[in-house]
Amino acid sequence: MGAQNPTAEALFLGSHRAVTNDLLARGRGRDSVVLVHGIKSRGAWYRYFERVLEPHFRCERADYDEYHQPILAALLVYVSEASAVRMVMPVLLLAALVAIVAGIRVGAMSFAALIAASAVARIVVIQRCRERALEKVGDAIKRSGAVEPGPSMVAHSFGSFLVGQLIQRANQRVNRLVLTGAVLPENFDWRAIQERGIVRETWNAVCQGDTVARVAGWAGGNLGASGRRGFRANRDTVHSVSRDQASCAQCAETGRDASASRPLVHNLVAQHCEHTDFALSSAFALDHLLPVLLGYSSGEYRKLRQIAVALVRNEERRPHSELLVRAAAVAADISSDWLGGATLLTKIDELDLDEAPAQTALRFFEKVDEGVRALEDHLRADAPLSSDLRAKTQLLDYRHAYALLAT
């Protein structure tokens, strides 16, 4: 697409503001997203997640330093959250070593002393570390200024545990929740959360090579390997989908039954990746995190974006008439939840504009491509997001791009 002249630019920005105000009036404003890091981390991934999300959301960082020292942090988590059996095992081994060296009686006394010390340490760590970290995450939620249904949240590793605690114990309401490298138990009680209606939707990025989640699964207790194996529950609560799938096959199947409810949790499964490989990348933020937080199926969202880019950026190499035919054909093939189950071409017909539907379809794809270009410019530039660039980047919310067609 060629560069817009100043008049066209002003018209676009004016239309954008009108549509934005309308969406705000109907409750589709810049929702809040709270980002929660894990242990041994200051949330280095916050920055590139924020770069992708900030045109659409107000991002709030949760920072806690109770578990920052590398070796000590892992020990503190183990002491406070591992199962009682796992807690006793190293104590038993140490007492056995003392018994071999100094005798059975001394070994038994050492075992009793170590058990008592472990119990005290567990209470102290829980009170001084876990509760303080939970308080700081709660403060970030308050700072986000989110109203009902609560903020969306993105939590990595031990951050997933903290968010799980807030949901279970404090009934913290969450709009959309994205977990990466999760260390919650695989049998986390999502059914009870679903019945209480305090979380709208959860996506759990599963990396099948995640050794950190594997160790958490071994520790047991309040910890688990959900970041490696996914959550497990009945199909009314949890579905699993490959990161390469366009949509959830189980949702498509149950969607034929009007009485079927949408599952609370989707495991987004990726193979051969580690704790931070897949789900802490800018590609994950664009292909999965952004669409999920905007309320789209990530596979369908990614596919439409790729179609728009391929179609528009080949524009100069095709006759305009051929491009219109192609745009209409693609629009007739695209259907999704955000279109109410109708095809894009059907929704364009409903606008009843004074131009051919094929031309409107092409304009829609041009707007999506313009959003992609704007985000590419924003990610390349190490500078604050300008209002003009924000307006163009928001075209990556397809509802927004569609609403602008009629202005």
Mind listing the pLDDT tens digit for each residue in 340-392? Answer: 889 999 999 999 888 999 999 999 999 999 999 999 998 888 778 888 888 99
What is the rounded CA–CA span in Å between residue 374 and residue 381? 11
Diameter over CA atoms, the chain: 94
Q: Which of 263, 203, 202, 206 is nearest to 229 (CA)?
A: 206
Is the whole-model pTM more than 0.85?
no
H/E segment holding residue 153: strand 152-156
**What's residue 258's pLDDT?**
41
Domain range summary for the chain, segments of one domain joined by +: 32-70+126-295, 304-404
Residue that the structure tokens 């530039």 belong to: 381
* DSSP sequence for 23-48: HHHTT-S--EEEEE--TT---TTHHH
**What's residue 99's pLDDT?**
62
DSSP H helices, 249-356, are 249-254, 282-284, 290-294, 298-313, 320-333, 344-351
What size, in residues, is the chain? 407
**What's residue 76's pLDDT?**
67
DSSP H helices, 26-152, are 46-53, 70-81, 84-102, 104-125, 131-144
**What's residue 74's pLDDT?**
73
Which residues contact residue 167 at a Cβ distance below 8 angstroms, ignoring those fewer than 6 apart? 174, 193, 198, 199
**What's residue 389's pLDDT?**
87
Segments of the chain with pLDDT less than 50: 1-4, 11-13, 19-20, 23-29, 256-259
CATH of domain 32-70+126-295: 3.40.50.1820
Which residues contact residue 239 at a Cβ distance below 8 angstroms, ignoring those fewer than 6 apart? 248, 250, 251, 263, 265, 266, 267
**What's residue 247's pLDDT?**
77
**What's residue 123's pLDDT?**
66
What is the rounded CA–CA span in Å between residue 371 and residue 394? 6
What is the rounded CA–CA span in Å between residue 295 and residue 292? 5
Helical pair 357-380 and 344-351, crossing angle rounded to 10 deg? 110
